[in-house]
Structure 1
């Protein structure tokens, strides 16, 4: 078994173990199915989570005191908002997965069919899978270490709340990993299509320079037209997958984006508080500070990987349009080949690929930079408020 197959299998079984995945599939046959295990086990696991949260509904109110020991009111408000959003994201993800079980099965079947048709995608995605696996595992591991680090400083009731918070974070993170893997495969498929399209363009250029026999010329034109039609078919399937994935993760995507945003503002303020007062004056252990800063590093690295793959998909799509633009240099081609070029061009123009969050926020480089600017501004405002009132 190769490394990428092992990592994909680990992600698959871990999703089943934590109660996120509600169906199974076979990598070898592409069959997507439900079973008693994939139905009853996540149902029991998710029910336990909700029951424990009902039992411990008010446990996270003073979570800031468990981390800092000496926390002012603003610290508590910031941590409560960050914690509440994490809990809401995790619980919504569980409910949403059951609600969209059929849609997710259909989407998974489409991805697997394309995956089996082009098995080289797995090999080409090796480094993307490996880096994501490492960043996600280290992020969850550091968060678990922070939870265990509080043992002895809090009672069992509060420790239960921290454990449930960790569970919600793991569920949200695993949902992001699953989305990332699909987007990574889509991006690799686009890379393959661009390579094939470049080859078609080069073959067409050579065909124009060596028009010796009419029969051979027409045969090669038909072969190139078949290749273009296959590229257009695969591109349409990839765009359908992106659109379905966007709908499946619409509200969850908004919660995750909001979580990254608010967590970034909150972490900036917490880092300022530590440097302002000193971790000793806030009764924090050095191990807690180190774990928090390490977790922040890998947390944002993990988020940048998610953002990077979405931006690269749009770059590959634009590259396809640029490659196809070279068709204007061709004259005197067979009618069917010219129609294949034109149909692919119209397909790309009429239905441009866009990645949005609940049809309101487009994920592009410009909007990302604007978000970073707003994040920086809101962090400064929060710090200024602390300087004036605390």
Structure 2
């Protein structure tokens, strides 16, 4: 077994273990199916975490006061909002997975079928899979270290709440990993298509320059037209996967990225509070501070990997448009080959690749820079409010 297969298998079984995945599939046959084992286990796991959360948070325990007992009220509000959003997003993710079960199975079936048809994609995705696996594993490991460190400073009655928070964090992290893996697969497929399209363009130039024998010319033109039709078919399938992924992850993606945004603002304010009051006055230890900021680094790195994956897919799509633009240099081609070029070009123009969040927010470099600007502005406003009122 190669490294990529091992890592993909680890991600697959870990998703089943934590209760995020509620169906199974076979990499070798491409079969996507439900079973009593996976269904009952997912029902039991998801019900358990939901019941435990209801039991814990309906009690009188206030874990925020226990951990940040010496912090000001604004800091407590920030922590409560960030934690509440993560819990809500995690529970919604579990519930929504059942609602979208059939759509997720259909999406998975399409991805696995294309993977089986072009197995070289796995080898081309090796570094992307490895980097995401390391980033996600370190993020979960640091989260566990923070939980264990916190357990040494709080009463035993808070242990359940800390454990549930870790469970939710793992679920959200794995949901991001699954989305990333699909986007990585799509990106690698686009890179492979662009390579094949370049080869077709080079061969077309060669055919155009050497057309002494009409029979050979027609045969090669028909072969190139077949290749272009295959490229158009695969590109359309990839477009369908991206659109379906966008719909399946729409609300969850909005909540997760909203959590990243609020966490960024909250982390900026936390750093300011530590510099202003000192970590001792916030009931924190030096080891806790180090662990928290290390976790923040890998947490945001993990999110950036997903973001860059979506941006690079759009870059590869635009590269395909640029490569295809060279077809205007060709004259006197076979009618079928010329139609194949025209059909692929019209397909790309009529159905452009766009990645949106809940059909409201376009994921582009410009919108990302605008969000970063807003994030900095809101962080400054929050710090100014603290300086004026606390």
Mapping of 1:343-362 within 5 angstroms? 343-362=343-362
Distance 1:58 1:291, change over 3 A: farther
Do residues 204 (structure 1) and 204 (structure 2) align?
A: yes
Check whether the contact 1:59–1:161 (CA below 8 A) recurs between aligned residues: no
- 2:261 and 2:229 map into 1 onto residues whose CA distance is 42
Shift of 1:67: 3.5
TM-score with structure 1 setting the length: 0.98
CA distance in 2, matches of 1:203, 1:59: 72
Q: Distance in 2 between matches of 1:122 and 1:345?
A: 28
Contact kept in structure 1, 2:67 and 2:154, CA below 8 Å: no
Which residue number corresponds to residue 275 of structure 1? 275
Summarize the alignment of residues 1-390 of structure 1 with structure 2, pairs less than 5 Å apart. 1-58=1-58, 62-390=62-390
> How many residue pairs align between the two structures?
390
- In 2, Cα distance between equivalents of 1:191 and 1:60: 55
* Deviating more after overlay: 272-281 vs 76-85: 272-281
Deviations 1:182-241 (A, max 9, x none): 000000000000000000000000111101100000000000000000000000000000
CA contact 1:59–1:158 (8 Å) conserved in 2: no
Give me the whole-angstrom Cα distance separating, in 2, the residues matched to 1:278 and 1:4.
Answer: 45
Tell me the distance in 2 between the aligned counterparts of 1:379 and 1:151: 30
For 1:262 and 1:19, the matched residues in 2 are separated by 26
- Quote the offset at 1:384 in angstroms: 0.3
In 1, Cα distance between equivalents of 2:372 and 2:73: 26
SS of equivalent residue, structure 1 residue 343: helix
Confirm or deny: 8 A CA contact 2:20 2:97 kept in the other structure.
Answer: yes
Retained in 2: the 8 A contact 1:68–1:282?
yes
Where does the alignment leave 5 or more consecutive residues of structure 1 unmatched? none
User: Which whole-Å CA distance do the structure 1 matches of 2:48 and 2:216 have between them?
Assistant: 69
Question: What displacement does 1:283 show?
Answer: 2.8
Shift of 1:169: 1.2
Measure how far apart 1:275 and its partner are. Answer: 1.0
1:262 is displaced (CA, Å) by 0.3
8 Å Cα contact 1:121/1:188 also seen in 2: yes
2:151 alignment partner, SS class: coil
Contact 1:56 1:157 (C-alpha < 8 Å) held by counterparts: no
Query: Does structure 2 retain, via aligned residues, the 8 Å contact 1:321–1:345?
Result: yes
Give the TM-score, by structure 2 length: 0.98
Q: 1:16 Cα deviation (Å)?
A: 0.3
1:104–1:248: 8 Å Cα contact kept in structure 2?
Answer: yes
For the residues of structure 1 that align with 2:10 and 2:63, how far apart are their CA atoms?
32
Cα distance in 2 between the residues matched to 1:291 and 1:315 = 36
Matched position secondary structure for 2:383: helix
Contact 2:68 2:76 in 1 (8 A): no
CA distance in 1 between counterparts of 2:315 and 2:137 reads: 28
Which sits farther off after the overlay, 118-127 or 143-152? Answer: 143-152
Shift, 1:65, TM fit: 3.4
- Looking at structure 2, the residues matched to 79 and 59 of structure 1 have their Cα atoms a distance apart, in angstroms, of 19
